[in-house]
Structure 1
């Protein structure tokens, strides 16, 4: 039995779909059983749990061959990341009590960075799970191609995408969520000892100018990328409702300045199969 958290999202759903396609039993770990109805219809066992509740999580993980941990993302965290720390404590306690055979945890590119930023939430999770007497794999994907969903409307309507990543010709490791789910499912079926790190990106790196060109191809209209100047970020993010924009700003700084990157040798990075154009076509289709 494979216990999958985050199954109602793109990555968790992709993990579960891969396992079900292989004929393996899946337990959907969800906050709301109603939202998981489609997964129950596909043959999943349903376990209700909250990611910050150790008791419900340990029950959901009990007897599992493998557990996939998809920590909830907080894009506007309080100082010190208290929300993430509550989840980390609950997940750690649940794993320690349930003692699944192995754990695959979705982490991120740059989890090893020493500078505090939005991704530090994953750094903290890695630090905690490393201490457990359970085989753990941290899957560190690059920038999700699906983040381009925010760019569909301005690209379609105005022929411009705003880029917080620059220079505009600097390639960034990007990956499709389908590849993340596929690789995570493969890792869950493997056997290993101790802690290992697996880094994942797409078939090739993509710079903002190439993202704009891909949109132009999909939309059949000219599209260009424009830099959002660093000095405008805080005001912009606060106008969008963020209370604590600094972690997000520092994450973007990390990509732009190069201290958020993969840790291992380039030859050891896994490359996905899904091309950016395919992701953009799906995003554009969904937005119609």
Structure 2
């Protein structure tokens, strides 16, 4: 029996779907019974738990052959990342109490970066969980291809892809959530000793110009990529409601400047940008 957290989200849902396809029993952990009802209807066990509730998580993890752990980052954190520091404690306590056979924890490219940025939150997760007594695998995923979903409506209206990633012809390490979920499901069913780090990207790097080209093909109209000037970022993010935009800005800087990168040689998934974006929108719309 495996345990899947974040089952109502993109990656957790794909992990669950893969296990379901393979006939592997699992327990879905969710905060909201209504949102997770589909998994119960499909035959999964359901455990209700907040990620800050150590007792509920301990019960959810009990007897597990493996736990897929997704600790959600805060997209507008306070300085020092107090939010994620508070959240880490409960899953760590629950894992120590329940002692599952193994843990697969979703992490990120650049978790090892020394420069503070938005992804530092998952670096903290790795630091706090690395010493757990059971085997643990940190799955460091690249930039999600599915993040381009935010660009579809503006591109349809303006024929412009406004890109914070720049230069526009520079390839960035991206990956589909489908490859991430599939790799996590695979890892749960393998055995290893101690800690391991698996880095994952798509078949090849992706440039903003290539994203614009795929949008052009899918939308049936020309779309061009344009860089968003660095000196406008803070105002843009503040106007969007962010209180502390610096970590997000530094994250993007890290990709653009190359210090957010994989530490070793990444495993390559099979989902292409065309396929990932094709799932987000129907042609001609």
TM bracket, shorter-chain basis: over 0.9
SS in 2 for 1:88: helix
Q: Distance in 1 between matches of 2:282 and 2:251?
A: 29
Task: Note if 1:285 corresponds to 2:244.
Answer: no
Q: For residues 178 and 287 of structure 1, do their structure 2 counterparts lie closer, same or farther at Cα, with a shift above 3 Å needed?
A: farther
Q: Which residue pairs with 2:249 in the alignment?
A: 249
Q: Which residue pairs with 1:70 in the alignment?
A: 70
Deviates more, 1:152-161 or 1:171-180: 152-161
Q: Distance in 2 between matches of 1:154 and 1:24?
A: 41
> Which of the numbers 242, 263, 268 marks the counterpart of 1:271?
268
Q: Which residue pairs with 2:100 in the alignment?
A: 100
Q: TM-score, normalised by structure 2?
A: 0.98
Task: Note if 1:25 corresponds to 2:22.
Answer: no
Contact 1:152/1:287, CA 8 A, preserved across alignment: no
Shift of 1:73: 2.5
Q: Distance in 2 between matches of 1:213 and 1:75?
A: 28
SS in 2 for 1:283: coil
Show CA shifts across 1:28-74 (max 9, x none). Answer: 00001111110100001000111111111111101000000111131
RMSD of aligned residue pairs (Cα, Å): 1.2
Q: Which residue pairs with 1:4 in the alignment?
A: 4
SS in 2 for 1:137: strand
Contact 1:77/1:83, CA 8 A, preserved across alignment: yes
Q: Distance in 1 between matches of 2:208 and 2:28?
A: 36
Q: For residues 144 and 23 of structure 1, do their structure 2 counterparts lie closer, same or farther at Cα, with a shift above 3 Å needed?
A: same
Q: Distance in 2 between matches of 1:87 and 1:117?
A: 18
Shift of 1:11: 0.5
Q: Distance in 2 between matches of 1:43 and 1:234?
A: 47
Contact 1:202/1:274, CA 8 A, preserved across alignment: yes
Task: Note if 1:202 corresponds to 2:202.
Answer: yes
SS in 1 for 2:35: helix
Alignment of 1:171-182 (within 5 A): 171-182=171-182
Alignment of 1:47-66 (within 5 A): 47-66=47-66
Contact 1:107/1:126, CA 8 A, preserved across alignment: yes
Contact 2:218/2:284, CA 8 A, preserved across alignment: no
Contact 2:57/2:94, CA 8 A, preserved across alignment: yes
Show CA shifts across 1:79-102 (max 9, x none). Answer: 111110111111111100000000
Contact 2:109/2:262, CA 8 A, preserved across alignment: yes
Q: Distance in 2 between matches of 1:228 and 1:284?
A: 24
Show CA shifts across 1:174-211 (max 9, x none). Answer: 11101100000000100000000001001111010111
SS in 2 for 1:196: strand
SS in 2 for 1:285: coil
For these two proteins, the number of residue pairs brought into alignment is 285
Contact 2:155/2:223, CA 8 A, preserved across alignment: yes
SS in 2 for 1:104: strand
Considering fraction of residues, name the structure with more helix.
Answer: 1
Shift of 1:153: 0.7
Q: Distance in 1 between matches of 2:152 and 2:62?
A: 42
Q: TM-score, normalised by structure 1?
A: 0.97
